[in-house]
């Protein structure tokens, strides 16, 4: 997956979070069903390879209704965050070094300019500093080229794993709860940055069996009620505080409620001390599972 600008990252992160959270439940399922898999230091997490070794394939025929819904959802978000909605300029220059005009009063970092995927010049011949051109191998299909026609909402695609014999189990609701309840893990921590928060939030949605309002709480603000619906929950800054409700949700939806799952916003090295403390607190306690990670925005800073 090559993500061509900040906006593309926002587009695909919700699906990635879903896949990743499903993997957590899948991994636990493997533990239950396959006694030979052991959680010692040498255990391999092959599922992570399945997340990264593969490619997105557009579903055909393209669901135009869904596409329109997704377009609308992202445009609303971009406007709210003051991110340029149009992704190309008038002068047909393209690439990371050809910045679009910022939205007035925006604090969002400046973003590169691309080409109109529906126009006659959809391809950028150089992803750093190029010109939009018509369809040809020189403009669309070279190592520096970007064919904007190939970029579509990840939600309209399926992730095809390189190992085609691998298949996903998407546990939701009670089944997902049971997978965890029957596992040895009683205290599950998601630790890291926004990527881990999204994985955690989607796990709450999976456990609550509610992808619209899974992580909702009683005392939300009106703004949160308006914004934090479905995958929007993963984008808007106002929805971030919702990633604190694990225990309450589990009590609502899981029958045995014999585990806790929580999120620690420890996004950088300055939180190392907290992490060590947590590990010390948990050492000797059986059934702790710490999932530590940070998101990586591939190709966003191509010059570095
Ligand atoms: C297309 O998307 C719409 C809106 O999300 C959905 O209601 C419909 O079921 C989808 N159609 C197909 C064939 O998947
Ligand atoms: C982009 O390319 C043009 C020539 O096409 C050049 O004049 C300009 O300096 C380049 N800009 C950067 C930032 O490399
Ligand atoms: C690109 O080159 C391949 C052969 O390398 C050729 O089959 C294909 O038709 C070319 N595509 C275009 C758009 O010219
Ligand atoms: C892109 O180029 C490769 C070889 O360089 C060729 O195999 C492939 O068919 C080309 N793709 C298109 C869409 O023209
Ligand atoms: C209500 O919101 C505050 C702050 O937003 C939070 O600290 C508190 O835990 C919330 N209470 C409940 C019951 O969710
Ligand atoms: C979950 O957390 C609650 C409150 O923090 C605690 O009382 C309970 O013992 C915890 N349950 C497990 C299984 O650790
Ligand atoms: C590191 O994370 C903390 C939040 O725990 C934040 O306050 C701080 O600004 C971050 N530092 C950097 C350099 O990003
Ligand atoms: C470790 O445990 C102590 C006492 O239970 C608690 O006050 C503290 O917040 C915990 N620290 C972390 C990082 O979990």
- Ligand 7 in contact with 275 (CB < 6 A)? no
Question: Residue 294 to residues 18, 21, 104, 118, 267: CA-CA distances in angstroms?
Answer: 16, 14, 31, 35, 7
* Contacts of 260 by beta carbon, 8 Å cutoff, 6+ apart: 186, 187, 188, 246, 247, 250
| Packed helices 6-33 and 64-81: angle between N→C axes, nearest 10 degrees | 120
The whole-model pTM stands at 0.80
- Ligand 2 in contact with 129 (CB < 6 A)? yes
How far is the centre of ligand 6, averaged over its atoms, from the C-alpha of 168 (Å)?
A: 30
How far is the centre of ligand 7, averaged over its atoms, from the C-alpha of 268 (Å)?
A: 6
| Ligand lying nearest the CA atom of residue 153 | 1
Q: In terms of C-beta distances under 8 Å and separation of at least 24 residues, what long-range contacts does 265-269 make, across chains too?
A: 265/193, 265/197, 266/191, 266/192, 267/192, 267/193, 267/194, 267/294, 268/193
Residue whose CA lies nearest to ligand 1 atom number 11: 63
How far is the centre of ligand 6, averaged over its atoms, from the C-alpha of 204 (Å)?
A: 17
Residue whose CA lies nearest to ligand 7 atom number 13: 268
In order along its 304 residues, the chain shows pLDDT tens digits of 233 333 333 334 455 556 566 556 655 555 555 433 344 333 345 777 787 889 888 899 999 999 999 999 999 999 999 999 999 999 999 999 999 999 999 998 888 999 999 999 999 999 999 999 999 999 999 999 999 998 888 889 888 999 888 877 778 888 889 888 888 999 999 999 999 999 999 999 999 889 999 899 888 999 999 999 999 999 999 999 998 877 777 777 787 778 999 999 999 889 999 999 999 999 999 999 999 998 877 655 555 4
Query: Per-residue b/e over 173-200, b at no fewer than 16 CB within 10 Å?
Result: eeebbbbbbebebbebbbbbbbbbbbbb
């Amino acid at each position: 997956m090559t993500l061509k600008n900040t906006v593309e990252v926002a587009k695909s992160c919700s699906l990635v979070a879903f896949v990743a959270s499903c993997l957590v439940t899948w991994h636990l399922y493997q533990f239950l069903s396959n006694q030979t898999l052991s959680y010692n230091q040498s255990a391999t997490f092959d599922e992570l390879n399945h997340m990264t070794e593969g490619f997105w394939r557009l579903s055909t025929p393209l669901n135009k209704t869904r596409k329109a819904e997704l377009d609308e959802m992202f445009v609303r978000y971009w406007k709210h965050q003051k991110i340029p909605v149009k992704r190309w300029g008038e002068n047909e220059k393209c690439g990371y070094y050809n910045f679009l005009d910022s939205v007035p009063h925006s604090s969002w970092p400046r973003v590169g300019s691309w080409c109109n995927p529906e126009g006659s010049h959809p391809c950028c011949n150089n992803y750093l500093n190029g010109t939009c051109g018509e369809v040809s191998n020189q403009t669309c299909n070279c190592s520096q080229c970007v064919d904007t026609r190939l970029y579509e909402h990840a939600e309209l695609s399926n992730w095809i794993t390189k190992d085609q014999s691998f298949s996903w189990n998407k546990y939701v609701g009670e089944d997902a709860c049971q997978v965890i309840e029957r596992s040895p893990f009683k205290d599950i921590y998601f630790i890291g940055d926004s990527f881990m928060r999204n994985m955690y939030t989607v796990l709450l949605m999976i456990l609550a069996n509610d992808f619209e309002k899974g992580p909702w709480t009683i005392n939300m603000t009106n703004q949160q009620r308006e914004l934090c619906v479905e995958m929007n929950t993963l984008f808007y800054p106002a929805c971030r505080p919702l990633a604190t409700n694990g225990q309450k949700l589990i009590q609502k939806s899981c029958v045995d409620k014999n585990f806790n799952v929580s999120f620690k916003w420890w996004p950088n090295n300055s939180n190392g001390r907290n992490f060590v403390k947590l590990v010390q607190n948990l050492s000797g306690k059986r059934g702790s599972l710490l999932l530590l990670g940070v998101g990586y925005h591939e190709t966003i800073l191509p010059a570095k």
